[in-house]
Amino acid sequence: MTLQEFTAQAISTLGPLVLLALSVLTAWLTKAAREHIQDKRLATTLETITKLVATAVADAFQTVVKDLKDPTKPGEWNATTAASIKWNVIEGVKNTAPAVLEQLQQLGVVKLDELLAQLVEQRVVALNAARLPPAPTTPITQLSMAMITQPDELL
C-alpha cells in the first residue's frame, strides 16, 4: 500500500468521524452561546427591574411614607399602611414596565409578584440602613479599633 492509498483510505474512514465531531462541537458551542446570551439578558433585565423598584420605593418614601411617619402631619404609619404602600409600589412598577416584566417571564421568571415584593423589601432595608445614625462607640469598640489600628502600642 502506498502512502497515497493509505492517505485516501484514512480520509475516507476518518472524514465522517471528523464531520460528526465537528457537528457535535458546533451544537454544543451554539447551546453554550445561547445560554450565555440568555443569562446576560436575564441579568440585564433584573438590573433594570431592580432600578425601577428602587426609584419607586424612593418616590413612595419621599411622597407618602415620610409624611405618614411624621407625627405632626395627618395619617398613621402602621402595618396595614405599610402593606398598602408596598402593594401600590409593586402595582406601580407593573404598570410602568410591563415590557420588562414580560421579558422576565420569557426568560423563565414565573413568580413576578414575589420577585417584586422581595426587591421592594431589599430597597426599604437599604434605605432604612442608610438613614440610621452611626452606632455609638463603647469602650469595647474603641479598644477593638485600637487593636486594629495600633496593635504594637497595646502590647
> Is 49 or 141 the better-scoring residue by pLDDT?
49
Is residue 48 one of the residues assigned to a domain? yes
Range of the domain at 14: 7-132
The pLDDT of residue 134 is 53
Per-residue model confidence as pLDDT tens digits over 53-68: 999 998 888 888 888 8
Distance CA 36, CA 30 (A): 10
What pLDDT, on the 0 to 100 scale, is given for residue 155? 43
- Check residue 138 and give its pLDDT: 52
154 domain-assigned: no
Count of structural domains within the chain: 1
Residue 37 burial (10 A CB sphere; 0-12, 13-18, 19+): exposed
Total residues found in the chain within this entry: 155
Residue 40 in domain:
yes
Q: How far is 83 from 67, CA to CA, in rounded Å?
A: 16
Residue 142 lies in a domain: no
The model's pLDDT over 121-140, given as tens digits with 9 standing for 90+, comes to 998 888 877 775 555 555 55
Distance, CA of 45 to CA of 147 (rounded, Å) = 45
What pTM was computed for the model?
A: 0.63
Query: Tens of pLDDT along 31-53?
Result: 666 676 677 888 888 888 889 99
Confidence of residue 70 (pLDDT cuts 50, 70, 90): confident
**144 domain residue, yes or no:** no
> What are the cell numbers at 64?
407618602
Q: Determine contact, residues 49/119, Cβ cutoff 8 Å.
A: yes
- Asked whether residue 84 is assigned to any structural domain, the reply reads yes
pLDDT at 27: 67
Do residues 77 and 65 make contact, with C-beta atoms less than 8 angstroms apart?
yes
Average pLDDT over the chain reads 77
* Closest C-alpha to 67, from 81, 56, 79: 81
- Angle 25-27-31 (CA atoms, 0-180°, nearest 5)? 115
Q: 24-38, 62-76, 82-96, 119-133: which has the minimum mean pLDDT?
A: 24-38
In a domain, 1, yes or no: no
What's the alpha-carbon Rg for the chain, to the nearest Å? 30
User: Is 141 part of any domain?
Assistant: no
